[in-house]
Structure 1
Amino acid sequence: MDRKRIYNPSSNETLTERRVFNGNPHGILNFTKAKYQWALKLWDLMEANTWFPKEVDTTDDVRCYAHELTQAEKRMYDLVWSQLISMDSFQTNNLADNINPYITAPEINAVLSRQAYEEANHSKSYAVMVEAICDNTDLIYEMEKHDDVLREKNDYISSVYAELAGEVTDEKLLLAMIANQILEGVYFYSGFTAIYSLARAGKMLGSAQMIRFIQRDEITHLLLFQNMINSVRTERPDLFTPEMEAKIYDMFKKAGELEIKWGKYITQNQIMGFTDDIIEQYIQYLIDQRLVAIGLKRLYNVAHPIKWVDDFAKFNDQKSNFFEAKVTNYSKGSISFDDF
């Protein structure tokens, strides 16, 4: 598969001929003519949800980190930021270098570009938090050099992305989309829940607010890749062979193992309301949700073990189905887990 041409005036591709990949785009982005209406709705939602790290007050968190967190909580807090920093750093480059150059629908290109900006904004938010609150900034940014469990997770995630750097095929690009769905929908969640567990105990409330902003963005990123995958399923059902589906299930199983191991490692059964058993069941629940969203079967069939996490993630009580609602119903701060 070749990278798409930036400008292709000889193209006569119609809207009905447009494809997620392997299309023949003109190179002109026209927001008034789009095949993938879900991409336009996501763009408007992401635009409405624009936020900046300076909006979050971390003053009380500085005091709380220094005087109220236990050593176990402080260790967990530092490890969470180290891992989130890694993933958003990977994703900023991955979207620009490995995904977008091969996507031939301009409206999807636009949303992927917006996502890349948001990933960089998350990195800015981590810098704000770490610089203001933590004891050793340099260590947090270089934690994978000293922590084998973090290094194992980072090595696996980056190795999956690195496979796309060689010769790109239709099958590899589909698997790259799956890898992105896993990143956005599984790998962040032990870290998110760890911060919410502190907030549930009345600690690090500014940090939890920053995570709410970040997680709301990640929900739109998850929706983006799920819809890309489902659009490809419609356009290229031949790609979804039993062998391909077996690879997808294996990717989710491996991701679950890594995320469960990471969640148990950062908490060490010392964080109230976030035990080893809960971590395992929660990640398995999330994996089932992600599989169903792309037309596959559940692997674990487990219930949501910590619904209080969803309450912490919400900005308000406004609820509606994303793909049935008007964009005006999704004013800044209104997306919730019910929008999956």
Structure 2
Amino acid sequence: MSEVMLEKAKTLEPRNPNKSTGVFGGKSSGILNWNDIAYPHWYKMYKRLIGNYWQADEVNMSGDVKQFPSLSKEEQDAYLKIIGLLSTLDGPQTRTALLLSLYATDPSVQSIMAVIAQQEAVHNESYSYVLSSVVSLDEQNESFQLGRKDPVLLKRNENIIGTYNAFVENPTIENILKTMVYTALLEGMFFYSGFAFFYNLARHNKMVGTSTMISYINRDELEHGRFIAELFRATLAENPEYNTGSFIEWVYDHFKESVELEIEWSSYVLADVEGIDLIEMAGYIKYRANKMLRMMGLEEIYPDHVENPMKWIRAYVDNFDGTKTDFFEQRSRQYTKTSDLNGFDDL
């Protein structure tokens, strides 16, 4: 099958219909009427996303500033390495979301990806904000260098780098689909050993401000992963020539490899952290992979890991009534505006 290079979507083309004829490679005027879009339920996704608005400096880090020096050397090292990991993953997501939107011919996708890009920018800012609260500028810079220098992290990110850059160089439907596979992995699995570390600190009443920040990011990533999975399914359905055994096998192979790399990374960075069982963590990673595959319309690959083995994590994620409760302070604070659009997949 010969690959066709996609062109960037026209900003405005009045000769085309308002309702897009395809998410990528289709025709659309560029005029967006949310009441007349190809996938009407995506409006609910858009509403959930914009309901999650927050800013990094809204989180009080004063307690963390005092607590960080009292953490064990192992906890401090893991803290800095995991912030470095998260910044390495979130930094490119702003641009990746914008790149996807440039080739999307459905204006609803363009709008949703614009919101996702803005949220990813906030996430990256939050890592700078967190680090500036607890360590010197030199230590901040060292943490942000990890994505360029740490051999375990470089190995772990090699496939992401290759897939994302292939899309930049060759914007084809196949490369867009592969980019969405790695975006789903990133949003739905790669972050989670890092999230678990900060939630584990919080359940021992440590660095609760950082944990609160992470819960905000976690909420966003759940929604991002949900939409990317939907976009993947829609793109594959509209382009059935790519829905082949060989492509689906590629997806499964890369999920399996990503799971092994994530387990290797988590074992490396969490090995000396008290309170986290590495076997349980490996099971949690496989559980997250299964969950993302289901959302993408594919079969699970780890039949022994369909249940969350780390249920304690759910104490740090939003309740379904639209509010969030700090685990130790038990102080309810509004997280998103409550409406019939709220609710999300559990961890």
**TM-score (normalised: structure 2):** 0.88
- Sequence identity percentage: 28
Residues 1:214 and 2:217 aligned together: yes
Partner of 2:302: 300
Partner residue of 1:228 out of 224, 227, 231 = 231
Matches within 5 A, 1:41-190: 41-67=44-70, 69-97=71-99, 99-135=100-136, 136-190=139-193
Residue 35 of structure 1: aligned partner = 38
Given candidates 7, 10, 28, the residue that maps to 2:12 is 7
The answer as to whether partners of 1:282 and 1:305 remain within 8 angstroms in 2 is yes
Query: What CA deviation, in whole Å up to 9, does each residue of 1:105-150 have, x standing for no partner?
Result: 1011100011000000111111110001134111111123442112
**Could you list the per-position Cα deviations for residues 215-258 of structure 1 after superposition, in whole angstroms to 9, with x for gaps in the alignment?**
10101101110111222243233321100100100111121112
Change (3 A) 1:251 1:73: same
**Higher mean C-alpha deviation, range 189-198 or range 164-173:** 164-173
* Structure 2 match to 1:328: 339
* DSSP-derived class of the 1:305 partner: coil
For structure 1, which segment, 197-206 or 38-47, has the greater mean C-alpha deviation from structure 2 after superposition? 38-47
C-alpha change, 1:75 and 1:245, in structure 2 (3 Å) is same
Count of paired positions:
324
- 1:37 aligned counterpart, secondary structure: coil
C-alpha distance 336-7 of structure 1, shift in aligned 2 (>3 A): closer
Residues of 2 paired with 1:207 and 1:73: CA distance?
13
SS of 1:270's equivalent? coil
CA contact (8 A) 1:41 1:327 kept: no
**Corresponding residue of 2:204:** 201
Please tell me whether residue 23 in structure 1 is matched to residue 26 in structure 2. Answer: yes
CA RMSD of aligned residues (A): 1.9
Counterpart Cα distance in 2 of 1:145 and 1:293: 32
Q: Report the residue type matching 2:14 in the other structure.
A: P
Structure 1: which amino acid aligns with 2:242? L
- The amino acid that maps onto 1:284 is K
Gaps of 5+ in 2: 1-5, 323-336
Q: What is the CA–CA distance in structure 2 between the aligned matches of 1:219 and 1:144, rounded to whole Å?
A: 23
Shift of 1:269: 4.4
Q: TM-score scaled by structure 1?
A: 0.90
Q: CA deviation at 1:317?
A: 4.6
* Structure 1 segments (4+ residues) deviating >3 Å: 334-338
User: CA separation of 1:327/1:177 partners in 2, compared to 1, >3 Å: closer, same or farther?
Assistant: farther
Deviates more, 1:228-237 or 1:218-227: 228-237
**Does 2:259 correspond to 1:262?**
no
Contact 2:18/2:29 (CA < 8 Å) preserved in 1? Answer: no
**d(CA) in 1 for partners of 2:58, 2:298:** 39
Which residue identity lines up with residue 292 of structure 1 in the other structure?
A: R
Partner residue, 2:316: 312
Is 2:163–2:178's contact at 8 Å kept on the other side of the alignment? no
2:339 is paired with a residue whose SS is: helix
Q: 1:112 to 1:317 in 2, by over 3 A?
A: closer
- The one-letter code sitting in structure 1 at the alignment partner of 2:27 is N
Amino acid at match of 1:110: S
Q: Distance in 2 between matches of 1:192 and 1:38?
A: 29
Distance 1:318 1:76 in 2: 33
